[in-house]
Chains A and B, each alone.
Chain A
Amino acid sequence: MSILVLAEHHDGALAGATAHVVAAAKEIGGDIDVLVAGEGVSAIAEAAAKLDGVSRVRVADHAVYAHQLAEPMGALLAELAGDYSHVLAVGSTTGKNVLPRLAALKDVAQLSEIIAVESADTFKRPIYAGNAIATVQSDDALKVITVRATAFDAVGESGSAAIEAVKTVFDNAQSSFVGEQLAESDRPELGAAKVVVSGGRGMGSGENFKLLDGIADKLGAAIGASRAAVDAGFVPNDMQVGQTGKIVAPELYIAVGISGAIQHLAGMKDAKVIVAINKDEEAPIFQVADYGLVGDLFEVLPELESKL
């Protein structure tokens, strides 16, 4: 067996989630290649070559792969997939965008967001917003899989894989990149943070999210939000934790003013320790919280910040 892992990268750096996907690939077993596709990606390829367990890094460095648009990326993966039994990617917006396109081009199914490897053809994945875990077995010759990064521990970085260029280039007349607006943040990436502090509708306004800053700074935490807080316009939607936002599994998750709807729990219930701060003691979040504090967040948050 041989496995191709599509490297996830942003802003010229290899995303940490890639090391988690390589860990899933190691559990499947077999030779592991990593594909780095983009423009000006040599530094990313070098970072990928250091990941333990990787035998070869294949680099497709060309303007057509800049921004990793689905049309050329799908074609590239379909071209390379013939050499592999499995193609894996992070269940990120890039992985989700590109891999189903590859699967359809190869006439195989895709398994989304696996959380465990049972064997080379059998995997576990959550369904119904994480309220059920399905075990699925694929008889397809090529397994196309996205991986929930938080379910696997990252591999180390002591390797030294060979790097070789992929020359295949596709014309793309169908889609073009126009621009992007990225939210600026000095904090750790939400999906990879060890501590996450999230606010919900109970925060009352976007201004009040500043109350979380001090706590996040002291704990080195990322700041998240519930869909209610995003829909109310308090914060941008890339902060959303939940079924339709980011899935996180930090060591510590602090939910402030969040009731705990099914949709939100799907995004955070695998956190090691959950703390809930809510003035409604009947809020469903208390059913999953390890430590619950019933109280007014406007009093609790400043006190908590001062005592950390």
Chain B
Amino acid sequence: MKVLVAVKRVIDYNVKIRVKPDNSDVDLTNVKMAMNPFCEIAVEEAVRLKEAGVATEVVAVTVGPKAAQEQLRTALALGADRAVHVQTEAPVESLAAAKLLAKVVEEEQPQLTILGKQAIDSDNNQVGQMLAALTGRPQGTFASEIAVEGETLKVTREIDGGLQTVSLALPAIVTTDLRLNEPRYAKLPDIMKAKKKPLSVTTPEELGVAVASKVKLVKVEPPAERQGGIKVGSVDELVDKLKNEAKVIS
């Protein structure tokens, strides 16, 4: 079966972000970018399905600026067969991203589409669910284990309080949680080979999707700073401070 995997270019998760002085947004100039960690897990799962003989083709897709092709090349180096880039320099919110991906799903007709559960920039956790709704497919969100069993997909999901297992009729949409797998690193020869793999480029206009959102970013501020604390010298002092100064224990 064909597997489609969606990836997003985001700020590297180790970078400490800065808010722009005019509070218009987060400053992303000259900041290291990378593939969203949850998307790495999605690519890894797709490649493992191919290695297991379950998937016949893995197609990576991204929506974003020209530079996002770096992340598609990373996905190709990790084992994806070809890539689709929906290129736009405009900011794309979750709903528009889901509509664009729905068009790609319509064209490619994958049996399984894998996304990360959330991007670490907007922290939305929406696109996979929205894509499932728009394509009329069932969803297996926050997956920590998946298994293809004939025409169905068994998904173990991380829920509050434990794990839940559901069975979905294929074709389906899955979003990855952290413990689904441990992504591999791209090897240098694979990075070289990835440069020759096919990468097709389209645009929101060609797909007939308007990316404008009805949600306006009014301002972005740094969070309230915590007051600097103190170091105590002993357990006795700690207990005393908690009882008599902070008054959080009795």
Contact = CB atoms under 8 A, between A and B. Distances in A.
A219 interface: yes
A148 to B, nearest CB: 11
Contacts of B206: none
B217 to A, nearest CB: 6
Contacts of B130: 100-101, 103-104, 110
Nearest to B239: A307
B248 interface: yes
Contact of B164 (A67, A134, A272, A293): A67
A238 B159 CA distance: 8
B126 interface: yes
A286 B229 contact: yes
Given A129-B120, A175-B167, A191-B160, A262 B222 contact: no
Interface residues of B, number: 79
B140 to A, nearest CB: 8
Contact of A183 (B127, B162, B228, B234): B162
Interface in A59-104: 67, 69-71, 74, 92-94, 96-104
A136 B218 contact: yes
B168 to A, nearest CB: 5
Given A103-B130, A133-B220, A177-B164, A294 B120 contact: no
A39 B17 CA distance: 45
Nearest to A305: B235
Interface string A132-149: 111111111000000000
A109 to B, nearest CB: 5
A112 interface: yes
B231 to A, nearest CB: 4
A153 interface: no
A269 to B, nearest CB: 7
Nearest to B121: A128
A237 B158 contact: yes
A50 interface: no
Interface string B216-250: 11111111001111111011101101100010110
Contact of A70 (B132, B161, B215): B132
Contacts of B124: 110, 112
B26 interface: yes
B123 interface: yes
Best-surrounded residue of B125, B134, B178, B231 (most CB of chain A within 10 A): B125
Interface residues of A, number: 89
Contacts of B129: 70, 96-101, 104
A303 B238 CA distance: 11
Nearest to B163: A181
B215 A109 contact: yes
A136 B120 contact: no
Contacts of A10: 160-161
A232 interface: no
B165 interface: yes
Contact of B214 (A97, A101, A109, A112): A109
**Residue from A111, A180, A262 with most neighbouring chain B CB atoms (10 Å):** A180
A227 interface: yes
Interface stretch (B56-64, B77-85, B92-100, B106-114): B92-100
Given A70-B139, A100-B126, A132-B17, A180 B229 contact: no
A292 B138 contact: no
Interface of A: 10, 67, 69-71, 74, 92-94, 96-105, 107-113, 122, 126-140, 173-183, 191, 195, 219, 227, 230-231, 236-238, 243-244, 246, 251-252, 262-263, 269, 272-275, 281, 286-294, 300, 303-304, 307-308
Given A103-B133, A191-B160, 12 more contacts: A94-B159, A96-B141, A98-B129, A103-B95, A104-B130, A112-B125, A126-B123, A176-B166, A243-B120, A291-B230, A293-B238, A294-B231
